[in-house]
């Protein structure tokens, strides 16, 4: 798929089938996040893909069922390894890369901003450290719900007047 085609086809998916995302496809999506540019080449992000059903269940149970993740069969978490004033922008670039790669692989995705709030407490950081086998409790910046789209929803039109070339 051409990049522009993935850009045009990408949409937020909020209804997933039970079909699992393959290990190979998860590796491709995570790689796309890792390859994103970071300010001053700081490479201060840690991208973690989760496919294991029992881990996903543990994570969802921790946040009262995890309805915010729409029953996704795979998750991606983007953590800040060390503080940097460009971390938010770095995470945004990584997220867009992964969303586009998922679209390219015909995998539905939804950028979940609420994950940051759900996992912001010290207790939640320790929980994620333990369940994801991280070397320390990192700050969660963003997350993605991944899976195969259940309900087909038409693409919303974008307003071409929101762009301008001079």
The CATH number given to whatever domain includes residue 29 is 3.40.109.10
Q: How many CB atoms lie within 10 A of CB 147?
A: 25
pTM to 2 decimal places: 0.95
Domain assignment present for residue 37? The answer is yes
Q: What is the count of structural domains for the chain? A: 1
pLDDT tens by residue, 83-123: 999 999 999 999 999 999 999 999 999 999 999 999 999 99
Domain assignment present for residue 156? The answer is no
* Domain extent for 141: 3-151
- N residues, the chain: 166
Question: Is 98 exposed, middle or buried (CB count within 10 Å of its CB: 0-12, 13-18, 19+)?
Answer: buried
Angle between helices 53-62 and 122-131 (to 10 degrees): 170
């Amino acid at each position: 798929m051409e990049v522009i085609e993935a850009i045009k086809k990408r949409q937020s998916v909020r209804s997933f089938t039970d079909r699992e995302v393959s290990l190979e496809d998860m590796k491709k999506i995570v790689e796309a996040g890792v390859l994103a540019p970071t300010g001053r080449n700081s490479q201060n992000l840690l991208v973690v893909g989760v496919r294991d059903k029992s881990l996903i269940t543990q994570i969802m149970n921790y946040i009262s069922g995890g309805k915010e993740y729409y029953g996704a069969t795979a998750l991606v978490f983007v953590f800040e390894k060390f503080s940097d004033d460009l971390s938010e922008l770095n995470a945004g670039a990584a997220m867009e890369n992964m969303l586009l790669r998922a679209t390219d692989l015909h995998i539905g995705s939804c950028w979940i901003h609420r994950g940051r709030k759900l996992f912001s407490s010290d207790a939640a950081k320790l929980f994620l450290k333990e369940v994801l086998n991280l070397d320390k409790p990192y700050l969660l910046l963003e997350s993605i719900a991944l899976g195969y789209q259940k309900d087909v929803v038409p693409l919303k039109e974008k307003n071409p007047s929101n762009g301008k070339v001079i």
